[in-house]
Amino acid sequence: MPAYDVAERDWRLKLNANEAPTTLPPLVEERVMARLSHIAFNRYPNLEMKDLIEQVASNYSLREEQVFFGNGSSEIIEKLFYAFGGKNHSIVYPEPSFSMYKIYVKVADAKGVPVGLEEDYSLDREKFVRAVKDSKASLAVVCTPNNPTGNLIPLEDVEYIAQNIDCALVVDEAYLEFAGEDASAVKLLKKYPHMIVARTFSKAYGLASARVGYMMADEAVVRMVEKAFMPYHLNVLSLVTADIVYQMRDEFQPRIYMLRDECRRVAEELKKIKGLTVYPSHTNFLLLKSVKAEKLNEYLAEQGIGVRSFGSAPRLENCLRISMGTREENDLWLGEVKRFMGGKK
Ligand SMILES: Cc1ncc(COP(=O)(O)O)c(C=O)c1O
């Protein structure tokens, strides 16, 4: 079975995991530290989870029973695959997309049914629905905006898929905040009780260290899936930190705008470089394609700049994924890319 393969080292510039380039905003960090100083370390987590659920439910006008938290959206997705997978069950997902889907399929002992994205990485909704029907799938997953391709699946296509399949449909919205709430499928939950939206605090809220993610779904789905989690699965340190981050989420908005704007600015700069294809992105990262990708990856690594190379992954040959840093950081790696591609290294 393949393992999650990111070659890590102490990078000068770490742009390989779509993390936020900076830690919490100072005001948020101050509140988190104050809250952490009066934790009852002897107690299992209890009301802390409830506080967080209350906030999310109220923000999206959902009942509290419709929201469930996990250790990153990774744990949510993994457990959904366990709950709906198993022998003789098929799980349909796009390819290329988040590399963990096919690993969770295996661990869940299910049959994976990848649906190839089109040449421009868009998702053909008819083809996807057909794959779900033909395989009599128990679970289907879409990722919007999609990792690693960066493109958004139009909401009407997500709705079309929901309308035309009757198995559970997970909409993985790990990068949604960069595209804006209008693009979210949350508003469709009332209409489609077989739809599950997965979100994370790891990207736009820069809380990857704490591992916090959640799902929003019909309460019957939540009741069923929560059985796959161990008791008290989320620790109090992460719960109270996420609670404050969510309370203060407006503090993150300027950063989200900055990363989105940087993505656009850098994409325009990269497009000027001969021999490089840049894909449109609604996220905090860009996907590049070049016949020189492997050598460029090696060159950047020599400069201490870590980006994500996909090796020979299907449909991602000669592709690199680069997460946005601060403006200064982006200028630094952009300069190195220009130097390498211009042959001036
Ligand atoms: C599309 C997608 N979904 C889910 C995740 C999992 O994120 P986390 O477990 O940090 O919430 C990631 C992380 O990179 C991702 O790219």
- CB–CB of 85/111 below 8 Å? no
Question: Do 212 and 294 fall within a single domain?
Answer: no
Last residue of a domain, one of 231, 247, 263: 247
Nearest ligand 1 atom, CA 143:
1
The reply to whether 2 falls in a domain is no
- For 141-158, the DSSP string reads EEESSPTTT-PPPPHHHH
What global pTM score does this model have? 0.97
Q: Does the CB atom of residue 173 touch ligand 1 within 6 A?
A: no
Going from the Cα of 206 to the center of ligand 1, the distance in angstroms, rounded, reads: 12
The reply to whether ligand 1 has any atom less than 6 angstroms from the CB of 78 is no
Mean pLDDT of the chain: 96
State whether 318 and 177 are in the same domain: no
Query: In terms of Cα–Cα distance, which of 276, 297, 287, 298 is closest to 323?
Result: 287
Residue 172, ligand 1, Cβ within 6 A: yes
pLDDT at position 6 over 80 = no
Q: Please check whether residues 137 and 237 belong to one and the same domain.
A: yes
Q: Is 47 left (phi over 0), alpha (psi -120 to 50) or beta?
A: alpha
Name the closest-CA residue to atom 2, ligand 1. 174
CB 98 within 8 A of CB 134: no
Would the CB of 71 count as within 6 Å of ligand 1?
Answer: no
| Domains in the chain, number | 2
Q: Which residues, at least 6 apart from 252, have a Cβ–Cβ distance to it below 8 Å?
A: 25, 28, 204, 205, 206, 245
pLDDT tens-digit profile of 207-233? 999 999 999 999 999 999 999 999 999
Q: Please, are residues 212 and 238 in contact by the beta-carbon 8 Å criterion?
A: yes
Dist. CA 343 → ligand 1 center (Å): 35
Paired residues of 195 in beta bridges? 169
Asked if residue 270 is part of any domain, the answer here is yes
Residue of 117, 172, 209 best suited for mutating to test ligand 1, as the one with most atoms within 8 Å of CB: 172
Does ligand 1 have an atom closer than 6 angstroms to the CB of 99? no
Q: What is the mean predicted confidence (pLDDT) over 258-269? A: 97
Residue with tokens 């090796």: 311
| DSSP letter string, 233-262 | -S-HHHHHHHHHHHHTGGGGHHHHHHHHHH
| Contact 72 CB / ligand 1 (< 6 Å) | yes
Structure tokens at 127: 């083809």
> Does residue 1 surpass a pLDDT of 90?
no
Do residues 285 and 224 share a domain? no
Q: Is the CB of 147 under 6 A from ligand 1?
A: yes
The answer to whether residue 226 is domain-embedded is: yes
Q: Judge whether residue 3 has pLDDT over 80.
A: no
How many angstroms does the Cα of residue 42 sit away from the middle of ligand 1?
31
* Cβ(283) – ligand 1 distance below 6 Å: no
Same domain, 163 and 44: yes
Domain boundary among 247, 268, 290: 247
Q: Which of 152, 208, 160 is nearest to 183 (CA)?
A: 152
Whether 5 is covered by a domain: the verdict is no
pLDDT of residue 57: 98
Domain extent for 263: 13-23+252-341
* Closest alpha carbon to 100 in 216, 17, 32, 204: 17
High-pLDDT (> 70) share of the chain, %: 98
Ligand 1 geometric centre to CA of 174 (Å): 6
Question: Do both 205 and 271 map to the same domain?
Answer: no
CATH number at residue 88: 3.40.640.10
pLDDT given for residue 165 in this prediction: 98
Distance 339 CA to ligand 1 centre (A): 32
- The C-alpha torsion from 269 through 272 and 275 to 276, rounded to 10°, is 30
Last residue of a domain, one of 247, 282, 304: 247
Contact 281, 150 (CB under 8 A): yes
Asked whether the predicted pLDDT for residue 8 surpasses 90, the reply is: no
For residue 175, which atom of ligand 1 is closest to its CA? 1
**Which of ligand 1's atoms lies nearest the C-alpha of 146?**
1
